[in-house]
């Protein structure tokens, strides 16, 4: 990275969550050298939450590299968003992977930066913009987000033997309900009436052996497998 970042006019206190200790130390050292205060901890969730509770943090940086460690890193970002929704977060990614970018936005990131393709100055600018209340992402990353919004997600639900339990349309309903949408919003997304959505839900409840939306969300969380989004919903 290019170390041509100017010292911030006011010190911003950062929390750095990175599953790679050596890279964590190097990045923390560079940020401190350029005027930022940096707090970090190991990747253990309890350690992260304990450190955040005892520190006053302005911006959280989370490594979201993908690969084998990707799901755990994204889970860390979601955990931090749930525990500290008021603190803006930046996802540091290694490649401009569409799925990683969209997941990072959905998990609460307000800034996304590909370290391999960016200078250290851009990282500093990203931190300042997010700290100031703005969104910081490239045009390509924002296009990924907009494209995902225009698509309808689906949540594949499997039985004990790995068999599909729901039709594709029912999987779409499950995914939207799991995202927190009301029956009215689900109907609008899928171009259906609320009455039809209710019929789908009753059918899903019956197939899964559950009785309400809360149980459905919990079932989807434990048994659901996200499917690739589709431009047009199918029956």
pLDDT in tens, 119-137: 999 999 999 999 999 999 9
pLDDT of residue 231: 40
Report how many domains make up the chain: 2
- pLDDT tens track for 147-202: 777 666 677 777 667 677 889 889 889 988 888 889 998 998 888 999 999 999 99
Residue 106 lies in a domain: yes
Is 128 in the same domain as 183? no
CATH, residue 34: 3.40.50.2300
Is the separation of the CB atoms in 189 and 181 below 8 Å? yes
Q: Is residue 182 part of a domain?
A: yes
Residue 121 lies in a domain: yes
Share of the chain above pLDDT 70, in %: 83
Position 69 pLDDT exceeds 60: no
**Reported confidence tier of residue 138, pLDDT bands at 50, 70, 90:** very high
pTM of the model: 0.63
Per-residue pLDDT, averaged over 6-29, amounts to 76
Q: What percent of the chain has pLDDT over 90?
A: 35
Mean pLDDT of 58-86: 81
7 has pLDDT over 50 = no
Q: Is the pLDDT of residue 70 over 70?
A: no
pLDDT higher at 235 or 77:
77
* 29 and 125 both lie in a single domain: yes
Q: What is the pLDDT of residue 58?
A: 95
Which of 147, 177, 205 is a domain's end point? Answer: 147
pLDDT at 87 over 90: yes
CA proximity to 40, closest of 26, 28, 49: 28
Burial (CB count within 10 angstroms: exposed 0-12, middle 13-18, buried 19+), residue 220? buried
Domain boundary (147, 181, 210) is at: 147
8 lies in some domain: no
Residue 120 domain flag: yes
Q: Name the region of 57 (left: φ>0; alpha: ψ -120 to 50; beta: rest).
A: beta
By residue range, what is the domain housing residue 26?
13-147
> What ranges in the chain are assigned the alpha helix state H?
21-33, 45-53, 70-83, 98-106, 120-131, 139-149, 168-178, 183-190, 194-208, 213-223
Band (93; pLDDT cuts 50, 70, 90): very high
**68 vs 212, more confident:** 212
User: Among residues 102, 119, 147, which one ends one of the domains?
Assistant: 147
First to last CA, the chain: 50
Whether residue 3 is predicted with pLDDT greater than 60 in this model: the reply is: no
pLDDT band for position 92 (50/70/90)? very high
pLDDT interval class at 227 (50, 70, 90): low
The answer to whether position 192 is within a domain reads yes
pLDDT-derived band at 235, boundaries 50, 70, 90: very low
CATH of the domain at 183: 1.10.10.10
Is 7 domain-assigned?
A: no
pLDDT for residue 230 is more than 60: no
Residues forming beta bridges with residue 17, ordered by sequence position? 41, 62
Residue 235 forms part of a structural domain? no
Of 4-8, 30-34, 142-146, which gets the smallest average pLDDT?
4-8
Domain match, 174 and 107 both: no
């Amino acid at each position: 990275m290019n170390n041509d970042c100017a010292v911030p006019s006011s010190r911003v206190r950062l929390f750095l969550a990175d599953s790679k200790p050596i890279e964590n130390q190097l990045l923390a050292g560079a940020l401190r050298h350029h005027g930022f205060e940096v707090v970090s901890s190991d990747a253990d969730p309890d350690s992260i939450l304990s450190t955040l509770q005892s520190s006053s943090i302005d911006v959280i940086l989370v490594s979201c590299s993908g690969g084998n460690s990707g799901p755990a890193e994204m889970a860390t970002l979601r955990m931090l968003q749930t525990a500290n929704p008021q603190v803006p977060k930046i996802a540091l990614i290694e490649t401009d992977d569409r799925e990683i970018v969209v997941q990072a936005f959905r998990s609460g990131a307000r800034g996304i930066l590909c370290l391999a393709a960016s200078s250290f100055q851009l990282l500093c600018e990203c931190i300042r913009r997010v700290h100031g209340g703005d969104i910081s992402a490239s045009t390509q990353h924002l296009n990924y987000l907009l494209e995902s919004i225009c698509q309808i997600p689906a949540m594949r639900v499997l039985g004990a033997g790995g068999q599909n339990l729901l039709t594709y349309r029912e999987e779409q309903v499950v995914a939207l309900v799991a995202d927190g949408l009301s029956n009215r919003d689900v109907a609008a997304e899928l171009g259906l009436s609320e009455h039809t959505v209710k019929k789908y839900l009753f059918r899903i409840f019956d197939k899964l052996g559950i009785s309400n939306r809360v149980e459905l969300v919990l079932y989807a969380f434990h048994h659901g497998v996200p499917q690739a989004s589709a431009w047009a919903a199918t029956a």
